[in-house]
Structure 1
Amino acid sequence: MSDVSSQIYQAVREVITRRSYDRAVAATALAERLLHNEGAIVRQEDEIFVGERPMSKDRELLSRMAQSTGLGFALYAGNRRIAVAAVLDAGTPPELGEFAHGDLVDRVLRRREIFKGSVEYREREYLAVCRPLHASGGQDFAPVGMIEAFQDKEAYFDLLAAAARSGVEDQVADVEERADSMESIIHFIDDVARRLQLLALNGNIIAAQAGEHGRAFRVVCRELGSLADQAKNTGQEVRKLIQTMGLERSEQDLMNPFEALEEAVGPDAGSTPSPSP
């Protein structure tokens, strides 16, 4: 394992993780805006109401957000989780009724900032973004709850790897199709070269048997032999052209950089440290 490969692999994971956080930040902002558009937000004890709707029982909005983004969403009344919605790719959702992770409470409820980092649910690491939820007209007061978007970290990278493999398979199929077409052309040229060589050989034999009368025919046979050599050389040039165009690349050559690096340095070599909240 080279240090350079490990550094590149880690850099790739960091970029992907950062983009995942950016997507979750935008998703939670949209969810908060949609909640405010649905009605006045108020907290009553351990419940968040949007208009007359208790959000612990009405999870339609969270479900729509989860389906449209591929993320999981959780809604908190204070620091207690009252509603969860998630699609399969986001991972197993955390339990209802549990209290929020301490880092979320400190950053979001006390400091009124957006949390971006890793949290652990059910012994699984999740990428999480959590923002304050304010009561309608209460932006200057303490948040009444939180909106969280989460994504199972390993499931997310497995999903990316599966998509990359699918893309590689499509590329391999396309390359194989083009290579087959070029190979058929090479076979044709080789066949022409062999036939010309055979004609030249037979012609020389007949010309020799004809003696003086076959002198002119020997000239034709030499031209046939020369043409056979040219056809053979053309076949070799086409093969070189195929190599230059990359039509003989293997699946390993077509592997995307992320997957190739992972195979080279190992799945755990470039694990990104959990971002500090």
Structure 2
Amino acid sequence: MAFAELSTGVRLFHTDEGGGGPPLLLVHGVGGDSSDWVFQLPAFSVRHRTIAPDLRGHGGSSTPAAGYGPGDYADDLVELLARLETGPVVAVGHSLGAVVVSNLARERPELLAGAVLLDPTYGDPPERDAAIKALLRGFHERGDVAGAVAALGSREGADSLPWMVEWHRRRGLATPPHVMTGTLVGLHDSAQAMNRGEVEPTLRARRVPLLVYHALPGLAAWEETLQQDPRSEVHDVSGRSGHWMHHDLADEVTEGVLTWVAELSR
């Protein structure tokens, strides 16, 4: 357990445990923290050095007044990896974290041996993108964290355990409003749009092997068309899992990641 004081003044809580390679970097989503990975950490750290930070504005990390776009989160992680002298890692991201990792796969591929993306929040069809932008407008006007958390909650699976749903909800409600606003705007504004038409060229530019899981119907088939590396895999878990598939399908996702990473190392 440690805190890294970054050059920007941000203080990142992180754990760095286990041994072996390649190292794993675990990146949680908005409204969460590194405890998102409680189902994976025991198995991951037996086989790999495993680094699990709290992103800025989340958990035990500091909460600056601004800087919550995907690029800001990515810059923090780049500096953290340099401080920890990890060499190339397999970065595992969920939701927002998957977008951050996807950006690293495009912009800093030399830092990654591979990337695992769990229900990344990109590729929205036009109707969903329009609904999210309407939510953002209301969020700006009212600072409605509860509304944003409810929208995220709509992505829970039909079979998600009630205590998990409540865990996700309560952590989201505790997220500072400016962190939630800055993050959602960063994901969906015109400069870093995540809707399908605008994001495809960006996704095709990723230059590392990818393991991708999608929970929304149709997204896995679309994701398949974007892959550039023959080692990449895409899995459709729609109908079997909600947005938090590393909780809903914990054993399946844990073993799937470990197996895929082992294949990369051969």
TM-score of the superposition, structure 2-length normalised? 0.23
Structure having the higher helix fraction is: 1
TM-score, reference length from structure 1: 0.23
Q: Which has the larger radius of gyration?
A: 1
